[in-house]
Amino acid sequence: MNIKPSKKMSIFSPAIFGQLKIAANNKRAEGETVIDLSLGSPDLSPAPIIRKTMATVSENPAMYGYTLSGTERFNKAVASYYKRRSNVNLDPNTEVLQTMGSQEGLVHLPLAFCNEGDIVLTTNPAYIAYDTGIKLAGAEPYYMPLQAKNNFLPNLNAIPENIAQKAKILILNLPGNPVPASPNEAFFEEVVAFAKTYNIIVLHDAAYSEYYFTGDGPISFLATPGAKEVGLEINSLSKSFSLAGARVAYIVGNADAIRIMSELKSNLDYGVFAPIQEAAITALDHAEEITNRLREIFSERHQILMKGLEELGWEVTHSNGGMFIWAKYPYSLDDKKFVFKAIEQVGVIMIPGSIFGTEGKGFVRIALVQNTESLQLAIEKLKKLKMS
C-alpha cells in the first residue's frame, strides 16, 4: 500500500525541536550538564490551590461527561478576571469562548473568517502557529517586520494600501514570542483606528500578559477604547498558571466574532474536561496571589540572563515582560549552525531566531525556564564558546 500525505501537509515544515533534542541527548551521553533554554514550557508547578481543586473535583464521578463548551462558571470567572485585572467589562454569555489551549484557537481562527487568497497581517518574526492557521485556511500572510528602530513593534503605516484593503485579520502578540516587545496605550489606539479604517479583525495573543516586570497590571488590548468593536484577545492558562498540559484557554471580545468562532468550535470538539475547567476557575479567581510570585521569579531570571549576556557582548532586546530573551550573538555564524555549535561545545540549548521568520536571522530565543543557579551556569558555559 502506497500511503502519501495530502497536499496540505506540505505547509508543515519539519520542526527543529526534535533535532535539538537529539543533539542535547548526545551531549548528555558524554557526561555533560545540559541546560535547556529552548521550549517555553513553564518549569514552575501549578499553585497548590489549583492542584487541590483538580484532585478533589476529579473524584466526582459526575465530572466525566462532555462539557461541549466552557461552563457558565468558567465564563464568569474569565469575565471577573478581566474586570479585576484590566477593568474590561465582558458579557460571559456572548463575549467569552473557551478553547483547548491557545494554539488550538490560534490555528482554527483563520478558518472561521478567511476565504482562499485573503490576506492576514502577521509579524516577522512571529510564533510559528500563526502561519500554520493562515495557510490551513488558504489565506496569504503579509509579514510586518519587527525591528529595533520601531521598538520591535509593527509599523502599520508601512503596510501598502492595497494590502490593507484586502486584509481580513491582524495578529499581534505583546509581549511576544519570540520578541518580548511591550505595547503601550498609544500603540493599541493606533491599531484600533487602523482596524476600523480597513474593516480588519484584530487578534491579540495575550499569552504572556501576566509576565510584566514594571507597572501595575497587564495591558489588555480590549481596554483600548473601541477595541471590542474590532477585535479579540486570546489568552491561555498554560504560562501564567503553569497549566500547559491541561490545555485550557479562552478567546474574548467582539460578540459577533465570538459567535462565529463558537459555531466552528461546535463542529470540532466536545469541550474541555470539567475538572480542568474547575482548576482554571480557581486559578483565575486567585490570579493576583499566584501571578505576583510568578513575576518575582521571572523578573529575577530576566535580569540575570540579560545582564550576563550583555557582559559577554551580546545585543539583548530590552523588555519589560515576557518569558523569553531575544538576543543577537556576537559571532558571524548562521543562527541554526550557532545553536548546534552551542550544544556541542557547552551544552546550552537555544532556539535559532530564523525559524520564526527572516527577521530572526542572527538572533536566538532563550526561554527563562530554569532556576537562577542554572541560568548563571548557562552564562558561565557561554563564556567558553569558541566560534570561528
| CATH number, residue 18 | 3.90.1150.10
Of the chain, the percentage scoring pLDDT greater than 90 comes to 91
d(CA 244, CA 101): 8
Concatenating the DSSP letter of every residue in 174-206 gives SS-SS------HHHHHHHHHHHHHHT-EEEEE-
Domain count, the chain: 2
Question: pLDDT (tens digit, 9 = 90+) per residue, 157-210?
Answer: 999 999 999 999 999 999 999 999 988 899 999 999 999 999 999 999 999 999
Same domain, 349 and 246: no
- The reply to whether 299 falls in a domain is yes
Residues 162 and 255 in one domain: yes
- Cβ contacts of 43 within 8 Å, gap of 6 or more: 369, 370, 371
The answer on 208 and 130 residing in a single domain is yes
Is pLDDT of 218 > 80? Answer: no
The CATH number given to whatever domain includes residue 120 is 3.40.640.10
pLDDT band at 12 (very low <50, low <70, confident <90, very high): confident
Identify whether residues 132 and 264 lie together within a single domain: yes
139 and 270, same domain (yes or no): yes
In the predicted model, is pLDDT for residue 45 greater than 80? yes
Domain boundary (220, 252, 286) is at 286
Q: Where are the beta strands (DSSP E) in 55-118?
A: 96-99
The secondary structure of residue 13, as a DSSP letter, is P
Average pLDDT of span 227-234:
98
Q: Which of 232, 257, 286 is the last residue of a domain?
A: 286
Shared-domain flag, residues 65 and 152: yes
CA 39/CA 317 separation, integer angstroms? 19
In angstroms, rounded to a whole number, what is the distance separating the alpha carbons of residues 171 and 238?
Answer: 20
Residues 26 and 133 in one domain: no
- The residue out of 258, 286, 314 marking a domain boundary is 286
Q: For residue 173, what is its C-alpha cell?
A: 502578540
Helix (H, G, I), strand (E, B) or coil at 172: strand
Residue 2 inside a domain? The answer is no
Q: To the nearest 10°, the Cα dihedral for 94, 96, 98, 102? A: 140
Q: How confident is the model at residue 388 (pLDDT cuts 50, 70, 90)?
A: low
Domain-located, residue 1: no
Q: Can you give the pLDDT at residue 33?
A: 93
113 and 188, same structural domain? yes
pLDDT in tens, 295-347: 999 999 999 999 999 999 999 998 899 999 999 999 999 999 999 999 999 99
Q: State which residues form the domain around 304.
A: 7-45+289-382
Run of H or E including 120: strand 119-124
